[in-house]
Amino acid sequence: MGGSATPTPRGYPLTGTLFERLGRAGLVDELLRFKVALDARNGDGNNALALGCVSNDVAVVQRPIAPGIAQDNCNDMDATGLMYGAASGEAALVALLLQAGADSLLCNLDDAKGSDLAASRECLTQPRHTTD
């Protein structure tokens, strides 16, 4: 894992193993309690929101959204949390991200949008947020 570490009050860096395990709700809660910058990115450029989306757990993703995490953080492949959510096929996750303001028009390095990556019909039927 590359990148600079963001220290927590306990002195643990927000990279490597700790950051990779953000899919666990309890860890996300602990990071919020200690006011760790959730926009910190791991070595692949993913923030807590994107890693939560990989976990396919709506409850985990709601936690960093509440304090205002960047919805459209692009990782090193220009992928966003919305793209991960759509690829998971979890329509409730896609709806949550769109309601929170995720931009459905962003494209990754393969020029694919979240709708192009949707793994279920339910994900495709979510209203789209645009940045007109």
User: What pLDDT sits at residue 9?
Assistant: 40
pLDDT above 60: residue 100: yes
**Mean pLDDT computed over 63-72:** 81
In order of 7, 10, 76, 81, the CA distances from 130 in angstroms are: 35, 40, 23, 16
pTM: 0.75
Q: Assess if residue 114 is contained within a domain.
A: yes
Kindly tell me the burial class for residue 31, based on how many C-beta atoms sit within 10 Å of its own C-beta (0-12, 13-18, 19 or more).
Answer: buried
In order of 44, 72, 109, the CA distances from 77 in angstroms are: 8, 13, 6
pLDDT above 90: residue 83: yes
Q: Assess if residue 129 is contained within a domain.
A: no
Q: Assess if residue 80 is contained within a domain.
A: yes
Residue 119 and residue 100: Cα distance in Å, rounded?
21
How many domains, the chain?
1
pLDDT above 90: residue 124: no
Q: Assess if residue 119 is contained within a domain.
A: yes
Q: Assess if residue 130 is contained within a domain.
A: no
Residue 49 token pair:
């929101």
User: What pLDDT sits at residue 132?
Assistant: 40
CATH number of the domain that residue 56 is part of = 1.25.40.20
pLDDT above 80: residue 117: yes
pLDDT above 90: residue 3: no
In order of 6, 24, 25, 32, 34, the CA distances from 11 in angstroms are: 9, 20, 20, 15, 11
User: What pLDDT sits at residue 15?
Assistant: 44
Q: Assess if residue 70 is contained within a domain.
A: yes
Domain residue limits at 81: 17-124
Q: What is the pLDDT of residues 34-59, one digit of tens each?
A: 777 777 888 888 888 888 888 787 88
